[in-house]
Structure 1
Amino acid sequence: MSAQFRFPRFFVTTPAPCPYIPGRSERKVFTELSGAHAAELNDALGRIGFRRSQGVAYRPSCQDCTACISVRVVAGEFKPNASQRKLLRRHADLDISACKPWTTEEQFALLRRYLAARHPGGGMAEMDELDFADMVEQTPVDTLVVEYREPSVNGRPGRLVGACLTDRQADGLSMVYSFFEPDEGVRQGLGTFIILDHILRAAQSGLAYVYLGYWVEQSPRMQYKTRYQPLERLGPGGWVRMAPPVAASTSAGKAAMPAKDGVVRAAE
């Protein structure tokens, strides 16, 4: 009897400048996602910290650095805080739809505005329509594009203000890439709202987690991921709970404090 699942072949990229920590270099290990068992392989690799890009699953494999930590929100236990509840009410009028992974001119125009305002010097800044189509449409797994639109007017769809390329895995939703209207005067807090919507969407579907990709403690632009609690991080021993962000001031008595490994422990 022949094996149904062939062990994948892994490859390593050449070192390149790290996009998160100045002065360091990054290296990735990756494998191809193809064939009848691509979705199963993607699920298995996702649980050990891999991310998907088109038909490839990858994760950091840097020499002498383990700063990139995979994190996921425990969707069923998530309870929005006061500011998150306010944001959910503010954007409750948006029309939200899960679409097949096909690109549109409207999506690309929104992406271009987002990149120009938020990541003008990033690696995606020169992306053209064909690159964008490849990113969205080349997927061997269960992928969708969640669109966020202004309310419809006279039966016509409202303006697109946000979108997220999302993989549905066996145990959760993996947010591959999100982008949104960068003008805060149009819709404030859209990036946060898109994550909140995915957490609630996962919980309503009975999915355990929302995978947020990598968190880097030394990178200020990564700290927003710790606002979604409970949050788990992947370590050598598997997934463990991370401590919530520590407030500027704490009350007297024993408090929950984060150890160096991110596990919640009682303060001495």
Structure 2
Amino acid sequence: MTDSKEIKLYATYPHPCSYFDDREAKTIFIDPDMSPSPTLYSELSRRGFRRSGSHIYRPDCSRCKECIASRVPVNTFAPSRSQRRTMSRNDDLRSEISPTLSSDAYELYERYINGRHRDGDMFPPSKEQFDSFLGQSNATTVYVHFYEGTKLIAIAVTDVLDDGLSAIYTFYDPDLTRRSLGVYGILWQISYAKSLELPFIYLGYWIRDCQKMSYKIDYRPIELLINSRWVRLN
């Protein structure tokens, strides 16, 4: 295993921030030619790194520290009343875990982006973008397919770490708003991590002042990586 001290890190030039129109962002990422072992990838996750496609990265903005890595301790997680209702509404769904995406995954992704994220970086969707973002899995990746009867309605992409699951992305049928499938995808992964006796689910970056990213603090208790220490909020 490559020691974390030997990893080569690269930095992007400042570029427009995806979350705040008046700010520039900067990102550091590990050597793209490197294939970290599952153990090293888990260590990087504990240090606040995330995976997007084949890149493992972390924000490194000098004037802004809004992006804060977050994780849920699954054994003490206490669902809210609203989250319990979401779990109940989706009791009828069937889940299948696979190392690959189903053949109709892109069609679902395309509908999701067109229906929910027309103002985002991933619009308009394309098969090439989809393959580079979600099709670039590693040895730890699983795809959780959710079915309503025989109809595919959601997919959660997650990486299995040494100490938890890293929730990479969830996309779903944008017409089924009542099911709250984005919330359900996280709740399902919390339950799955607990069944695997893994203590955490990593949710990515919590951004307090960005509505699209602030929801992560709804899962309590939650731990935030602040000044290189995980701090629990109940």
TM class by shorter chain equals over 0.9
Q: Which residue in 1 is equivalent to 2:134?
A: 136
SS for the counterpart of 1:101 is: coil
- Verify: 1:108 aligned to 2:106, yes or no: yes
Q: Which has the higher helix share?
A: 2
- Equivalent in the alignment of 2:146: 148
Choose from 196, 211, 233 the match for 1:205.
196
TM-score by length of structure 1 reads: 0.81
Q: 2:161: which partner in 1?
A: 169
Q: Report the CA distance shift for 1:76/1:36 in structure 2 as closer, same or farther (over 3 A).
A: same
Q: Aligned partners of 2:129, 2:100: CA distance in 1, in Å?
A: 14
> Does the Cα contact within 8 Å between 1:33 and 1:41 map onto a contact in 2?
no
Q: Which amino acid aligns with 2:189?
A: H
Q: Cα deviations across residues 53-99 of structure 1 (Å, max 9, x unaligned)? A: 22221000012111100001111111222221121111011010111
What residue in structure 1 maps to residue 89 of structure 2? Answer: 90
| Correspondence 1:11-160 to 2 at 5 A | 11-32=10-31, 37-104=36-103, 106-151=104-149, 158-160=150-152
CA contact (8 A) 1:173 1:198 kept: yes
Distance 1:221-1:37 versus aligned 2 partners, 3 A rule: closer
Residues 1-44 of structure 1, C-alpha deviations (whole Å, 9 max, x = no match) = xxx52511100011111111220111100013666743222111
2: CA distance, partners of 1:110 / 1:206 = 31
Q: Is the CA contact (8 Å cut-off) linking 1:32 and 1:55 kept in structure 2?
A: no
Aligned partner letter, 1:148: F
Residue 216 in 1 paired to residue 207 in 2? yes
Residues 113, 125 of structure 2: 8 Å contact kept: no
For residue 5 of structure 1, what is the amino acid of its counterpart?
Answer: T
Q: Residues of 1 paired with 2:48 and 2:34: CA distance? A: 21
Structure 1 equivalent of residue 226 of structure 2? 235
Question: C-alpha offsets along residues 206-264 of structure 1, whole Å, 9 cap, x if unaligned?
Answer: 01111110011111222211111110000114101125xxxxxxxxxxxxxxxxxxxxx
The aligned residue for residue 5 of structure 1 is: 2
Give the 3 Å change call, closer, same or farther, for CA 230–102 of structure 1 in structure 2: same
Structure 1 runs of 4+ aligned residues shifted over 4 Å read 33-37
Name the amino acid aligned to 2:187: L
Output the amino acid matched with 1:129.
K
Q: What is aligned with 1:251?
A: none
TM-score (norm. length: structure 2): 0.92
- Measured after TM superposition, the shift of residue 103 of structure 1 is 5.0
Runs of 5+ unmatched residues, structure 1: 152-157, 244-268
* Corresponding pairs, count: 232
Checking the alignment, whether the CA contact within 8 Å between 1:15 and 1:26 is kept in structure 2 is yes
Higher RCO (C-alpha under 8 Å, 6+ residues apart): 2
Q: CA offsets, 1:155-213, max 9 Å, x none?
A: xxx1111101110000000011111111136x521111111001111111101111110
Match of 1:263 in 2: none
Higher CA-based Rg: 1
